[in-house]
Structure 1
Amino acid sequence: MKKNDTNMKEFEEGKKILLKGVDGDKKAVKIAYEIFLKLRNSEPDNALIEAYYGSTLALLGRDAVQPLEKADKAQEGLDSLNQAISMDPNQKEIRLLRANVCLRLPESFFHCSQTAIEDFNFLLDRYKEDSSYLTNKQVRGIMEDLSTAYQNIGKFGEANEVSQRLTKLKSKKK
């Protein structure tokens, strides 16, 4: 983010509101969308803003009533998240956002669980290189989600392998 204090404050506020939207608050989703749309217009080359904007679009799709609007908004969100990755492919927060959106979209329609798998593996690979890259809680969550993503595409052996690694990881932490 640029060091523009106003934009930084709006960005942080938008993230807080977005979390309420993720938890189901439809009004919060609309407010977050407006915040990130405004930030996106003021900083069009900012990959992180683009990613959060894409996340709000996906949530607008989740909350839409009409099936076509659901699909269109979700696809717009994916397109923005993919754009953000192309702008900054190594940004951890963007990878987490895209992976989580991809994991939660219906695989039968969007076919993006493989993208989630790639993002989760990207994050875990960086963690293997630098154990401070992710917190233990993040690693456990990513591994749980990675197992789910493998299940979504019918790769049950890989899902089971990840689950076994996760069980070993959890037993080490006790």
Structure 2
Amino acid sequence: MILIARDKTKPLEKLRWSKAGLKLLDGAVSAAPQDGMIRILRGKAAYKLPEKHFHRAHTAIEDYTFLIEREMHKEGFLENEIYLQLVYELGEVYCRIGQNQSAAMCWKRLMNQTLDPDFLHLLKLKLKNLEGKPAVEHIPNTESITSILIRRTVTAAGNALQSWAEEQKK
């Protein structure tokens, strides 16, 4: 559903498909919280979605942290490239929400785990961008009041329609 949303051209359709896909992924994680594949799917989806509309950074952090810790305890669960990518993306998510110290920790960990000169250069740039910034900073919500009202209205209408459809099924 999230992949279908990606290809939709109308914003409300994108939102509807994305939210439906996220709801399924949340349900799958609730049903099987130790399943690494489900965590990868939900974490990647949460990572790719814009934070200002979906507020899923903490979902990505939860899933990526679970996967990284699992890899540290069960070596071989993830391919090395995927593991490195998850740690890098975890740093990106932390950076997006103003958790600069946590982002730096992720990227410093990677500097000790890779020999790729291009990747090392990227990590150095990322760390340099964090220099002088506080450990935690407030990232203002740049969403306009109109956008917030539209999002809340669409969510309320969507919930009402889902409730009505469920009642009709009964």
After TM superposition, what 4+ stretches of structure 1 lie above 6 angstroms from structure 2?
Answer: none
The number of equivalent residue pairs is: 116
One-letter code aligned to 2:58: Q
What SS class does the counterpart of residue 114 from structure 2 fall into? helix
How far apart are 1:116 and its partner, in Å? Answer: 0.4
One-letter code aligned to 1:139: Y
- Give the structure 1 partner of residue 31 of structure 2: 87
1:69-108 to 2 correspondence within 5 Å?
Answer: 69-108=13-52
Residues 58 and 101 in structure 1, CA contact (< 8 A), matched pair in contact too: yes
Would you say 1:155 and 2:93 are equivalent positions? no
How far apart are 1:104 and its partner, in Å? Answer: 0.4
1:9-158 to 2 correspondence within 5 Å?
Answer: 57-158=1-102
How far apart are 1:96 and its partner, in Å? Answer: 0.4
Take 1:121 and 1:63, find their aligned partners in 2: how far apart are those partners?
29
Q: In the TM superposition, what whole-angstrom CA distance separates every residue of 1:77-102 from its partner, at most 9, and x where no partner exists?
A: 10010011111111111100000000
Larger % of helix: which?
Answer: 1
Q: TM-score, normalised by structure 1?
A: 0.64
Q: TM-score, normalised by structure 2?
A: 0.65
One-letter code aligned to 1:133: F
Residues 85 and 94 in structure 1, CA contact (< 8 A), matched pair in contact too: yes
One-letter code aligned to 2:80: N
Take 2:47 and 2:68, find their aligned partners in 1: how far apart are those partners?
16
Residues 114 and 153 in structure 1, CA contact (< 8 A), matched pair in contact too: no
User: Please, which moves more after superposition, 70-79 or 151-160?
Assistant: 151-160
How far apart are 1:158 and its partner, in Å? Answer: 0.8
5+ residue gaps, structure 2, are 117-170
What SS class does the counterpart of residue 117 from structure 1 fall into? helix
What is the root-mean-square deviation of aligned Cα atoms in Å?
1.3
What SS class does the counterpart of residue 112 from structure 2 fall into? helix
One-letter code aligned to 1:135: E
What SS class does the counterpart of residue 154 from structure 1 fall into? coil
How far apart are 1:106 and its partner, in Å? Answer: 0.5
How far apart are 1:153 and its partner, in Å? Answer: 1.3
How far apart are 1:149 and its partner, in Å? Answer: 1.1
Residues 113 and 149 in structure 1, CA contact (< 8 A), matched pair in contact too: yes
